[in-house]
Amino acid sequence: MNILVTGGAGFIGSAVCRLLVQNPENKVINIDKLTYAGNLQSLKSIENFRNYKHYCVDICDEQKILSILKDENIDKIMHLAAESHVDRSIDGPAAFVETNVVGTFRMLSAALTYWRELPTDKKVDFRFHHISTDEVFGDLPFNEGIFTETTPYAPSSPYSASKAASDHFVRAWHETYGLPVVLSNCSNNYGPFHFPEKLIPLVILNALHEIELPIYGQGNNVRDWLFVEDHAKALELVVTQGFIGESYNIGGREERTNLSVVETICDILDMKRPRASGKNYRELITFVTDRPGHDRRYAIDAAKIEADLGWKPTVTFEQGLEKTIDWYLDNEWWWRPIREKTYTGERLGQA
């Protein structure tokens, strides 16, 4: 397959690129304009692969995207490029509308023009896979309920509203124009190469620097956690085997409160990198004022993708968290330049 991955220098996108290039029959084309969260260092292990190429292009540049689709003879599009941090969306929602809504519209327009010109056999096999989030569904009570593919949309933040809008545009392009699309909505990802403003890497790195570990409210908000490499494998299945027009929820079935996530990180670090003072890392936990519209709980029902495509997560939260912490301990070369040059430490990284 010739696969176009948008946002391939981001956290999930880079995991997808690293996975797909392992098959020498794939050609992976990464489109990423390299904003603050895009980092080609996350692709260092594959940058010299003959079946990998990066274009520094904005997804809003429809004509350039169309040109790349034609030049690279693309079979599948995996659209991951997005602004994705809730706190940033509260401070500056315009960028989220531009990238997540307008950018998706431009991608769809380019894809439709390209698809219409394909020969019949290529047209049948073409897919536009839109990767989204469980946050479009709003939130759940603490003690009941779970998101399914038919859960009504009820976004709470500018970020989730922009992703909900992009989901609707993708479905509209399928229903109105016949573009062969598949969609997926995932729970909270974590793992290596995660940008340091997000909860898990923020807590790991703050702890290593022995500074406060900020938690919104009382830390009672619940998230379902999914190891990024498991997610990448699910996305490969969706784009290759998913049924046209269908959406698939992808989750880890690993619900945890934010407080329990932070405490677990502290406990693992107590074993792997004890503080010189002999104190435990939990003493660095600080509760701060909750953010506006903070969703209570997310929980994904992944039964559909499990039944239809045979996918299941292979990494438990405890296994994945230990792998993630080990990676950050061993790869200071990746995170230190980000921490020192582009990350101010002001954002709290709650998801």
Name the active-site residue from 114, 159, 216, 328: 159
Q: Report residue 302 as tokens.
A: 């992944």
> Quick check: 101 and 165 in contact, CB under 8 A?
yes
Judge whether 330 counts as a catalytic residue. no
Name the active-site residue from 134, 224, 236, 263: 134
One-letter amino acid for residue 80 of the chain: L
The DSSP secondary structure of 129-186, one letter per residue, reads EEEEEGGGG----TTS--B-TTSPP---SHHHHHHHHHHHHHHHHHHHH---EEEEEE
b/e code 66-94 from CB counts within 10 Å (16+ = b): bebbeebebbbbbbbbbbbbbbbbeeebe
Q: What share of the chain is helix, strand, coil (3-state, %, to 5)?
A: 45, 15, 40
Judge whether 135 counts as a catalytic residue. yes
Calpha distance 58→110 (Å, rounded): 13
Name the active-site residue from 62, 75, 87, 135: 135
Distance of CA 261 to the CA centre of its chain: 19
Which of 88, 247, 226, 260 is CA-nearest to residue 181?
247
Which of 307, 159, 167, 143 is CA-nearest to residue 237?
307
In degrees and rounded to multiples of 5, residue 321 shows phi and psi of -65, -40
Q: Report residue 73 as tokens.
A: 């003879």
Which of 89, 324, 283 is CA-nearest to residue 193?
324
Judge whether 328 counts as a catalytic residue. no
Question: Which residues does the annotation mark as catalytic?
Answer: 134-135, 159
